[in-house]
Structures are given as C-alpha cells and as structure tokens.
Amino acid sequence: MRDFEKLQNQIGIKFKDPDLLRQAVVHRSYLNENSNFSLDHNERLEFLGDAVLELVVTEHLYNNYPNPEGELTNWRSSLVNSNMLSEKSSQLGLNDYLYLSRGESKDIGKAREIILANAFEALIGAIYLDQGYTIAQQFIMKHIVVELPRILENNLYIDPKSKLQEMIQEKLAVTPSYKVLEEWGPDHDRQFKVGVFLDGKQVGEGLGSSKQQAQEVAAGQALESGVWEK
C-alpha cells in the first residue's frame, strides 16, 4: 500500500493536489495493464520537470561561477544526468511508490534506474505545478545543487567518454569505439544497449534512453574495470 502522506513528509512538501504527486510515479507501462486507472502517466510531468531542473541549475551556475560556458555545461550535465537523478530518487524512496507493469516491476537493473530518474524529474514538474517556481527551486537546491562541491572536488564533471578516451590513448595508444548492441521499445521510450570496444574486444556495456547516454554508461563501466591494466 502506497502511503503518499509519508512520501510528502519525506519530500517535505504538502501538496495541494495529491494526485499530482501520485501521477509523478505512474509509468506508462502500468496503464497498459490498468486502463481504468484514474490518472495519466508521468511523461508530461517529466517533460516539465526536466525544463525546471535545467533552469534552476543553470541559473545557479550562471549567478555564482564566472567560468566559461563549456565548463558550466559540463558541471550542469553532471548534476542532472540519470545516475544522479536515480540516486536521489532512491534516497527519497520513490522506488516504493512507482506504478509499474508486472514486467517492469521485476526489472531492477539499469532500466529501473532510468525509470527512477524520470520519476524524479516528474516529481519536480509536479512540485512546480502545485507549489510554484520558488518551492521547486528550493527542492532542487536541497537535493541536486548541494552535490556540486563534491562533483567539483573530485572532477566528476569530466564525462566518462572523455575520461576513458584520454586514459586509453595515454596508456594504450588506441581509441575506444562504440557499437549499438541492441535497441527496443516504442519511439517515445526507446532503450539502447551499447558496447565499448578496444581493438575489437568489448570492455564495457551500458543501457540508456539514448545512444549517448548508453555510451556514457558503457564508458563508465570500462573505467571502473580498469581495462588498461589488463
């Protein structure tokens, strides 16, 4: 049983319209099996929340750092990527509230992380509609922008693809290549599995809702495995 009063306490926001909060965690797959469900899926809220998130983060970076556009873009990307958002979504306990199809509910891998990241963006959209920009901004500052010092201190804003290429070229004098291994799903919810290869040997694999995202995950896996040391 989903206790949305408890979720509101975890978020620290009392919704005027609790259905907005519920809709934020409804995955499209759930409606395929529950056509009479009273709410729509969360994709429109996700679309809105993504824009609000990017604006708040961009505004903060612009107002507080005089760095060049390229650096700020990398910093922003590190704050709003799916890994960060799925992590924050899990911390808030959104996984326990998701409305998923029976098939999706069994998947606990990368596909679930993407669903959680999307739900976090949908939650921001719901907060924005229900409470306005200032409350949404405060929520984003508290849960997302707070991570910026850690990201800068540890150079986590350098994307995995760039980091892998730099490392491999330095250590092995070759260039990583990427190949789509599999893709599936409808156009609005496409999923890609991408492999990263060195001299024809696969050294990492990633799943994402875009080829670029899947490549980043694959590169990250290759980095974690320390392929240049093998």
Domains for the chain: give ranges and CATH numbers: 4-153 (1.10.1520.10), 160-229 (3.30.160.20)
Structure-token pair, residue 190:
């496409």
pTM of the model: 0.75
For residue 230, what pLDDT band results from cuts at 50, 70 and 90? low
Dmax (CA) for the chain in angstroms is 58
Any catalytic annotation for residue 121?
yes
Model pLDDT, residue 187: 80
Any catalytic annotation for residue 50?
yes
Question: Does residue 227 carry a pLDDT above 70?
Answer: no
The residue from 46, 104, 113, 121 that is catalytic is 121
CA distance 203 to 168: 12
Model pLDDT, residue 226: 76
Model pLDDT, residue 109: 75
For residue 209, what pLDDT band results from cuts at 50, 70 and 90? confident
Mean pLDDT of 188-202: 89
For residue 160, what pLDDT band results from cuts at 50, 70 and 90? confident
Which residues are bridge partners to 202 per DSSP?
197
Model pLDDT, residue 229: 64
Model pLDDT, residue 17: 97
CA distance 128 to 48: 9
Q: Summarize pLDDT for 23-63 with one digit per residue, the tens.
A: 999 999 999 999 999 999 999 999 999 999 999 999 999 99
The residue from 50, 104, 113, 159 that is catalytic is 50
* CA angle (193 as vertex; 190, 195 as ends), nearest 5: 150
Task: List CB contacts of 148: < 8 A, sequence separation 6 or more.
Answer: 75, 79
Model pLDDT, residue 161: 85
Q: Summarize pLDDT for 60-73 with one digit per residue, the tens.
A: 999 999 999 988 98
Model pLDDT, residue 228: 60
For residue 163, what pLDDT band results from cuts at 50, 70 and 90? confident
CA distance 179 to 193: 9
